[in-house]
Amino acid sequence: MAFRHIEVTPATPTIGAYISGIDLNAVKSEDVYEEIRLALWQNSVIFFRDQKVEPESYMKLGSKFGEMEQHEFFPHIPGYPAIQLISHEGNDQPETDRWHTDVTFRKRPNMVSILRITDLPPKGGDTMWASTAAAYEALGPDLKAMLQNLQAEHDMPFHFRRINAVQRLMERQKLASAKKGGGAMVNSMMSASELDAALADRECKLIQDNPSVVHPAVITHPHNGRNLLFVNSIWTKRFMGMHMDLSDALLRMLFEWVKKPEFMVRFKWEPNSIAMWDNCQTQHYAVFDYAPHYRAGERITCGSFEPKLTNRGQGAGAKVVGVGGVEKSPVRASDMSVELDLDQVVAYARRR
């Protein structure tokens, strides 16, 4: 398909494109949004420059990708509950400084995220995305076949316990309460045993309210039909029905594989820039290289999808449609310096 209402310029041969020739505050035709959707499904993440978008226009863009949500973790703009406020003070190491797909601990993760950075550090603060479809397509056929028969457990409390998230949250709430002048005295008077009990109660509630879910290790994209890896280093806990040592070894290898530069794009934020990414077929990483400076933004998450494998047996020769309907060749292991197969997985596991 040739784009008639927007200009689409690829950022890399594998992932990402820049969208121009459009003012998001002045979109009148549904055809424009349809082309934006198509550009996103084809390129996994798309970037807009010089878009001083108003909240109503921002919300309208998000609504074209499904129901917008209020997130578990973030506050929102007053009067616009779907526009989440995300920020980092630039002091502590962020809790999600690892490659991940958002909220895969849900039965239906969100489909699309849109982000505009409102407060830029003087330098740094880029965001990176990796194509999990390209990562899958570059694997050897035996490993693909094995992964198509695996299920993986995704578990929010599992990761939160690894990073002491509950304790860190309580400490933040204590600081916020102290700034407001309320509750600080009560918190400061709690004994060590009382604090331990409070932490245990919060962790138990977290586990009770957020049971783990199981998804296929390889899923099919609901809009473009590509198969893709669906495990990530934050929320994926283990492969089902596999010895723990083998599961850990295979997951570590896949987490490293996704990080190959051939699968990535890196975006440098500027004032009034917007990034929109397909959460189904990407992982992302917010680079924390801007300490001690502040970074903040406004995010919308919208739509959802059921992770499932429908193109079982799809090989590396599947057609991939790129910008303007031009067919692109998937990245293959034979095009690169490494081809992974089952022998390498077993050898890696035996070294542990």
DSSP 124: -
From 102, 155, 215, 221, the catalytic residue: 102
Residue 164, SS3 per DSSP: coil
The beta-strand segments (E) located in the chain are 7-10, 17-20, 45-48, 76-77, 80-88, 110-119, 127-131, 151-154, 213-216, 218-220, 227-229, 236-239, 264-267, 274-278, 282-286, 295-304, 320-321, 327-328
Find all residues with CB under 8 Å of 175, minimum gap 6, and list them.
none
Sheet holding 274-278, edge to edge: 7-10, 17-20, 45-48, 274-278, 110-119, 295-304, 80-88, 76-77
Is position 284 annotated as part of the catalytic site? yes
Structure token digits, residue 318:
């599947």
What distance in Å separates the CA atoms of residue 202 and residue 37, rounded to the nearest whole number? 40
Single out the catalytic residue among 71, 221, 284, 295. Answer: 284
Catalytic residue among 88, 238, 295, 299: 299
The identity of residue 290, as a single letter, is Y
Q: What is the largest CA-CA distance in the chain?
A: 67
Q: Is 102 a catalytic residue?
A: yes
Which of 71, 100, 226, 238 is an active site residue? 100
Going from the C-alpha of 29 to that of each of 4, 20, 66, 186, 273, the distances in angstroms are: 12, 16, 18, 56, 22
Intra-chain end-to-end CA distance of the chain, in Å = 49
Asked if 333 and 138 count as a contact pair (C-beta separation under 8 A), the reply is yes
Compute, in degrees rounded to 10, the torsion defined by CA atoms 273, 279, 281, 283.
Answer: 80
Helix 244-258 to helix 342-350 angle (10° resolution) is: 120
- The C-alpha atoms of residue 72 and residue 122 are separated, in whole angstroms, by 30
Examine the residue annotation and report whether 343 is marked as an active-site residue of this protein: no
299 labelled catalytic:
yes
Active site residue ranges: 100, 102, 284, 299
